[in-house]
Structure 1
């Protein structure tokens, strides 16, 4: 019912926005110029009922200072439990574990093997200590898939870190949940299987590590959370199976939402996991959402606005300053059943083509000081990748313009990183298919020990 109320309010507001646009002949300026609408929303839409946090609840010491009301909202927007402790349970003694130290292991071979589509020896679901966006203790999960065939190449078996585009707000949407519980029409993402990175890697003899890189709060699009989890997943594999993977080469790949995690990971190696710099031999990332200021122009007030709003809420789960800027309508949406959905559902409100501005309680939110700070932090400017990069993007991209990927390439070249950039024909989906083969070949060469060349 709460979800239906929010959607109904969005429909009414869509008509109001359309009426305002029709009444003014000149084209609208880029800045949001309907402050009266924001005021009307909070007058018409009451705040959602949000339970206060328990008295014993406290925020991490390094997190931004929050009021009791904001703490309650933060709790309310977080994803609901899925009934599996490995994804839900928060270890009481988490701060006693080192980064990447394994907390729990579950053998999920029985459910993962049919989904792998190629012979595998074992699939292990790992739960490990990591850090959140504020460097406070958190936990992550990842699945290690080991092929059935013995590794006959030199050294330890290489590992492909397959950063999938999870793009979700609910825990059931994690690839680790699917591999542990089986395929679901409701929550399994098609991109878990297409392109067939896991299958191709396993046939090549490589192990595959699949991180659930949005973390326990499903902080969709937050690069620090994702980067920490990816790096700590590698630490967990090396620490848990040192005889088999202690000296392995690790190579990362990720497209779109998976590129967010890959981008975060390669830039955090030097400061967060410097001991991995010699083990991670390269990263291939495509359809790269490297600059959210660019995306605020390309994804807002069009068919992609549902995804843009969901990503904003996802980042807000870690960066509570975003929550303070949400009006009553946004709070209804962020605490409704939408908070536990996958992209196939939360993308649907995009048909209304509403600007995210109507969900804010501040004027011109996408050009505000708050927005500029979020753009800066998530861009991770000046941070040098510790590994060679292969970057590709569709030249005709309209959702995730190539400008962001090209800027990332230029930045990393300027910092001395060996890098390659490929402009690929097509928009997001076509470019994903056309750019994939060369990216996989590039990554395979790194895993085979061929040094990376640079085109900077």
Structure 2
């Protein structure tokens, strides 16, 4: 689906959100390195097959496959691979994640080794066919961020684009689960130099980038980088359309034209925190809607679930506030878990030592601008060097409007130029 077609599909329905977040994360304990893939000859099905057992070392390349990124415009000369690599979930348990690595064919002529941009896409949907790596390679066409990847390739940067956790066979995407998403983004940057034929260096400067769901993920990666991946040379993070407070976003989504994103969030958070109750709270309509959410991509999510409210899906007609009081088998409530995903708190603990760029649309109809502004204010208050820009577009259009500025901003970080703070 083209960007213009997707804009038409989404604006035909109107109003919504995505989300983000999680808790404190420490660097994994040192263990014997798991064997890396020795050649990129895996079958496509192998990329999405969960390994047994999962790798103990984050950033391990488990499987890779050379591909053509047919959904990246511009007929750009590059080498590209689908990859399956090791990561860690919010409980510190090893998991595997899928993604894509793309490296320009032209030699890097800038200072130092070729930089790597770790990229997390915005909301694509929970269906297994929606994985960014599948869409970039043309297996399913509902993708709308190929322009972002193309701009990075044209600039000469390698792109390590995670699908995010939970797109392997039989899994559920852990949509807007902060720690899981942040780990997945950092770990694909760690994995990139180990992909056979990539020519990338472990000393390369790394930039983080994401918008909407991806903006939350990239900010979580920024917050977790020092403790979880201290060996990565992260020099900057660009995050746009950030759903910083999931409760505030949910309030805007419930009963709105974009209520499908709220359904995705409930399913994704429960997948990341399985002790939380979900199925036991649902009525038949709710169970049907969950199955729909798990089977479709972005446009299908919006159209199928527009106007629905959480009370329509639950046997007790729960409001959001009542849902937040429901506790799981570990004693934690939905509200406590959602609060743990909130961005911009405990920033003294997270120690972000590199500049951050945040941006949003002036007409954002999906993420409440108040929560986007609050994250920026929290970063400034914590002393994080924070650039800030507001674009004229709505939620979807702003993603595209910002591409040139973000690539230029990342280029300045790779060149070692000082960043301007707009605090």
The verdict on a shared fold, with TM-score over 0.5 as the criterion, is: yes
Map Cα deviations across residues 294-327 of structure 1 (whole Å, 9 max, x no partner): 1122111110112211222122111220425631
Q: Specify which structure has the higher proportion of helix.
A: 1
* Map of 2:148 onto structure 1: 197
Partner of 2:372: 405
**TM-score normalised by length of structure 2:** 0.79
Name the CA distance, whole Å, in 1 between partners of 2:243 and 2:79: 33
Deviations 1:179-225 (A, max 9, x none): 4xx424xx3233132xx121122122111111111333311222222
Relative to structure 1, the CA distance from residue 297 to residue 449 in structure 2 (aligned partners, 3 Å threshold; closer, same or farther) is same
- For residue 101 of structure 1, the aligned residue among 60, 69, 72 is 60
Moved >6 Å (runs of 4+):
none
* Alpha-carbon offset, residue 236 of structure 1: 0.6
Q: 2:203 corresponds to which residue? A: 247
Instruction: Verify: 1:160 aligned to 2:160, yes or no.
Output: no
* Alpha carbons 1:161, 1:253 under 8 Å: kept: yes
Q: Specify whether residues 239 and 415 from structure 1 end up closer, same or farther in structure 2 by C-alpha distance, changes over 3 A only.
A: farther
For residues 430-449 of structure 1, give each alpha carbon's deviation from its aligned partner in whole angstroms, at most 9, with x where no partner exists: 43344443333222211222
Alignment deviations for residues 373-392 of structure 1 (CA, whole Å, 9 cap, x no partner): 13311114314334311111
User: CA 1:339–1:430 in 2, change beyond 3 Å: closer, same or farther?
Assistant: closer
2:47 is the alignment partner of 1:86: yes
Going from structure 1 to structure 2, the CA distance change for 1:90 and 1:190 (only over 3 Å counts) comes to closer
Q: 1:301 to 1:192 in 2, by over 3 A?
A: same
Aligned to 1:415: 382
Report if aligned partners of 2:174, 2:272 keep a CA contact under 8 Å in 1: yes
Bigger Cα Rg: 1
Q: Deviations over 1:249-270 (max 9, x none)?
A: 1112211122122122111112
Name the structure 2 match of 1:37. Answer: none
- Ranges in structure 2 where 5+ consecutive residues have no aligned partner: 1-42, 326-332
Distance 2:289 2:304 in 1: 13
Aligned to 2:76: 119
Q: Give the one of 188, 191, 195 matched to 2:141.
A: 188
Q: 1:373 to 1:167 in 2, by over 3 A?
A: farther
Q: CA deviation at 1:336?
A: 2.8
Q: Secondary structure at the match of 2:338?
A: helix
Q: Give the SS at the match of 2:363.
A: coil
| Structure 2 equivalent of residue 329 of structure 1 | 284
Count of residue correspondences: 362
Q: What CA distance in whole angstroms lies between the structure 2 residues aligned with 1:188 and 1:114?
A: 8
Shift of 1:331: 5.3
Structure-2 separation of matches of 1:218 and 1:264: 17
Give the corresponding residue for 1:212.
163
C-alpha RMSD of the superposition: 2.5
Alignment CA distance shift 1:382-1:324 (3 Å):
farther
Distance 1:205 1:407 in 2: 34
- 1:442 aligned to 2:406? no
Matched, 1:235 2:202: no
Gaps of 5+ in 1: 1-81
Instruction: Report the Cα distance in structure 1 between the residues aligned to 2:253 and 2:245, rounded to whole angstroms.
Output: 12
Residue 378 in 1 paired to residue 341 in 2? yes
